[in-house]
């Protein structure tokens, strides 16, 4: 495949769609099985348009491992490359994935699989911005961020952050400024955490 940005890569974090282990905050409105189906749909939607956009190679970083049949099907359907997330908290996992990818690519973007507001234009702009900035972040409505991109490993951005809180973005930006890094923020985004988020996603169709 011919990519627009062959020297960059997109890292997608994804959990295996096991009922009771994904999208648990969609209950009680959705059963654990329905929540797992929702997780699949969000991931498939993302990988489908990434395949069509052909912006850059896509890596699917899997948890707890790459063996689940859903991940194997993603390879067949979308041509992604599978990697296993390392042990540790979210910061450790993200830092490891970015450091691993930046050994082979000039730029890397990391996103989750549950942010339907991210568009091809957002990804393309972030990849372009990384030519001029050290870090690109996509702020989320809940105070976190849904995408982070680097052109060089930045492990300090992932240490001592209270993941899941509404202070993730502000704490990360404080760290960025302390490290004197050049950064760019994209448009505000939202992801699917709660049932109201899921309803919002369903209304996009």
Segment 60-114, tens digit of pLDDT: 999 999 999 999 999 999 999 999 999 999 999 999 999 999 999 999 999 999 9
Let me know: does 61 contact 136? Beta carbons within 8 Å: no
Domains delineated in the chain: 8-132+188-202 (3.90.550.10)
Output the pLDDT for position 150: 97
Instruction: Return the sign of the alpha-carbon dihedral for residues 35, 41, 44, 49.
Output: negative
Tell how far CA 98 is from the center of its chain: 11
Output the pLDDT for position 1: 86
Sheet holding 81-84, edge to edge: 81-84, 58-63, 8-15, 107-112, 145-150, 135-139, 183-185
Output the pLDDT for position 205: 60
Output the pLDDT for position 204: 87
Global confidence as pTM: 0.96
Output the six-digit token pair for 200: 């919002």
Query: Tens place of pLDDT for every residue, the chain, 205 residues?
Result: 899 999 999 999 999 999 999 999 999 999 999 999 999 999 999 999 999 999 999 999 999 999 999 999 999 999 999 999 999 999 999 999 999 999 999 999 999 999 999 999 999 999 999 999 999 999 999 999 999 999 999 999 999 999 999 999 999 999 999 999 999 999 999 999 999 999 999 998 6
């Amino acid at each position: 495949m011919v990519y627009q940005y062959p020297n960059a890569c997109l890292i997608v974090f994804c959990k295996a769609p096991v009922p009771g282990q994904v999208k648990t905050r969609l209950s009680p409105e959705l059963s654990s099985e329905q929540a797992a189906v929702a997780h699949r749909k969000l991931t498939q939607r993302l990988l489908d348009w990434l395949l069509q956009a052909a912006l850059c190679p896509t890596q699917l970083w899997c948890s707890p491992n790459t063996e689940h049949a859903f991940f194997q099907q993603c390879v067949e359907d979308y041509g992604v490359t599978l990697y296993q997330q390392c042990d540790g908290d979210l910061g450790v996992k993200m830092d490891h994935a970015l450091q691993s990818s930046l050994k082979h690519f000039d730029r890397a973007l990391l996103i989750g699989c549950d942010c339907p507001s991210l568009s091809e234009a957002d990804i393309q702009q972030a990849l372009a911005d990384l030519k001029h900035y050290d870090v690109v972040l996509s702020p989320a409505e809940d105070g976190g961020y849904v995408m982070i991109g680097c052109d060089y490993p930045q492990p300090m951005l992932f240490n001592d952050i209270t993941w899941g809180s509404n202070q993730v973005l502000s704490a990360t930006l404080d760290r960025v400024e302390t490290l004197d890094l050049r950064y760019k923020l994209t448009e505000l985004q939202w992801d699917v955490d709660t049932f109201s988020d899921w309803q919002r996603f369903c209304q996009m169709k």
